[in-house]
Structure 1
Amino acid sequence: MKTRKLGDGLEVSAIGLGCMGMNQVYGTPLTASAANEVLAKAVELGITFFDTAEVYGPFLNEELVGAGLKPFRDKVVIATKFGFDIGPEGLGSGYSRMRGVNSRPEHIREVAEASLKRLGVEVIDLFYQHRVDPNVPIEDVAGAVKDLIAEGKVKHFGLSEAGAATIRKAHAVQPVAALQSEYSLWFRELEAEILPTLRELGVGLVPYSPLGRGLLTGAIKPETLAENDFRRGLPRFQGEALTKNLSLVEALTQIAAEKGITPAQLALSWILHQGEDIAPIPGTTKIPRLQENIGAVDVVLSPEDLARIAAAVPETAIEGDRYAPAGMAMVGR
């Protein structure tokens, strides 16, 4: 497995594993034993970068990831996140328990202590602010994480879906190792301002949903989504928007077939070719898909290939927002 460097010293596998789907949002959750099997296989195949968050579950995902990676702790980088106000169990499960954002310094410390216990680790390798809190100055957030780093409880600081000005302000207080944001062939807004800012500051990019929440694999059809799959609530996966977006994947499928690879490998390789400071974290719960995703690391694309791929999925042709209005209000702050 090839590696990538995020920030000024965080080395990770070129492709990581997003673990959210192991227990929520995409349908039937994995059992602990099934999650252990996927995580162990990922490590065997060379993945060293694993992504979780307290809100996934909430809380259960950190426990699954921590337990599954315990035998490999010295070989892996585990990233988790703070920043949401999570209500009691009576509010439901998953994201339904979120009552908004909360990045007050005292809350950041509480989350860090709880995540350390759930993960079963002595230090959090990469601690992201999950969403920017407009009520807490980002300088205070960065300062709180800086204190945790000084105490040896966190190694690296990250942001998620933050705007360029926010990244600059945070980085001035505590160097930001990575920004985790959505980035793929069907969402490229980062290229205008965010990516140049990251490169100016020496911050890495960790794209989540690099396969367009599965759409770019060519395997998604309206009838394939479970009733409790959260994608059903996303504008890009609804009605005529989904039909139009699926039609764009046909061109990618053709290019992939010409190269003897899958559409997923083509889409991931395109991202990897955007820079050595980028490490995508496609999520999967299936070992064959894990193996398929990893295969993208060895795909070589020429400048002509890259231009043709980008032209096949023009961002202006994508129909619908990537989140419902409430979700869109929380990104790019």
Structure 2
Amino acid sequence: MAETPLIPRVRLGTQGLEVSKLGFGCMGLTGAYNSPLGDDAGIAVIAHAFRRGVTFFDTSDVYGPHTNETLLGKIGELKKLVEEGKVKYIGLSEASPDTIRRAHAVHPITAVQMEWSLWARDIEPEIVPLCRELGIGIVPYSPIARGFFGGRGVTEQVSAESNLKGHPRFSAENLEKNKILYLKMEELAKKHQCSPAQLALAWVLHQGDDVVPIPGTTKIRNLDSNIDSVKVKLIEDELKEISDQIREEDVAGGRQYTSFAHTTWNYADTPKK
């Protein structure tokens, strides 16, 4: 999913731009809108952008595909930026175990961002142990299951403008089946005197001190509710009860949008240099 573009800010009294506010999208170097550049030409463009002060380079395994990441990796700039003090930490997102190991061997990875919630637990057998072996923090995104355990699609309608309309687990047929899980969570939440969303988030928080979930919201009341989830204390037996009641294998539909399923960590080995 594309990030919001960074808009350069003009400094009053100068003709230049504050380059630190401007990133560089690398997709076009490997043939998105034109013929791909050769390696030397592509590297020259990237190096020039870096010399001009650009330190944010956007790449992905779907650009090319794969050739864009390979091109950017040949200049080794991430490690250089850390050594120069321009970047403090390096993190990865939806990276495969092989990619995590190889990246960590070049420079220590601080955090790996992955989807992790009660209904998205595929990282537990391999990714979580690997991160702990290497001392890498885990940053779960969508810890409330894309709002499902907050009632989205159950107690409140999914907005017509929401891209969740295209998510497999929110399709009409699958959502009807998944509502059973929400009702189970609702009962569990009553037991713990909190909301289903708070219990879902508390479950993620209790997975370890190295776990820092990043729930998102556009509403202040939800933000306050999410923050208050840290007050929900769960013992081991309670965590097991929740895990046993809300099982990933009972969820209808894939965890990722169909068009992006091939880019998840299961299929996202970064090509070797």
**TM category, shorter:** 0.7 to 0.9
Aligned pair count?
239
Paired AA for residue 197 in structure 1: L
Unaligned runs of 5+ in 1: 1-24, 26-54, 64-80, 88-96, 117-126
Q: How does 1:1-333 map to 2 (within 5 A)?
A: 55-59=2-6, 85=27, 107=46, 110=49, 134-135=66-67, 136-137=69-70, 140=73, 143-221=76-154, 224-332=157-265, 333=268
Structure 2 CA distance for aligned equivalents of residues 271 and 212 of structure 1? 11
Rate the CA distance shift 1:86–1:297 in 2: closer, same or farther, 3 A.
Answer: farther
Per-residue deviation, 1:246 = 1.9
Paired AA for residue 306 in structure 1: L
Unaligned runs of 5+ in 2: 10-22, 35-41, 269-273
Per-residue deviation, 1:255 = 0.8
Paired AA for residue 126 in structure 2: E
Q: 1:25-71 CA distances to partner (integer Å, 9 max, x unpaired)?
A: 9xxxxxxxxxxxxxxxxxxxxxxxxxxxxx333337x99xxxxxxxx
Q: Give the RMSD, CA atoms, in angstroms.
A: 3.5
Q: SS in structure 1 opposite 2:165?
A: helix
Question: Does the CA-based 8 Å contact 1:129-1:158 persist in structure 2?
Answer: no
Dislocated runs of 4+, deviation >4 Å: 81-84, 104-116, 127-133
Paired AA for residue 330 in structure 1: T
Structure having the larger proportion of residues in strand: 1
Identity percentage of aligned residues: 38
Per-residue deviation, 1:113 = 5.1
Q: Greater CA radius of gyration, 1 or 2?
A: 2
Paired AA for residue 85 in structure 1: M
Rate the CA distance shift 1:229–1:206 in 2: closer, same or farther, 3 A.
Answer: same
Q: SS in structure 1 opposite 2:263?
A: coil
Per-residue deviation, 1:84 = 6.8
Paired AA for residue 191 in structure 2: E
Q: 1:284-328 CA distances to partner (integer Å, 9 max, x unpaired)?
A: 111111110011112110111101111111111111112233201
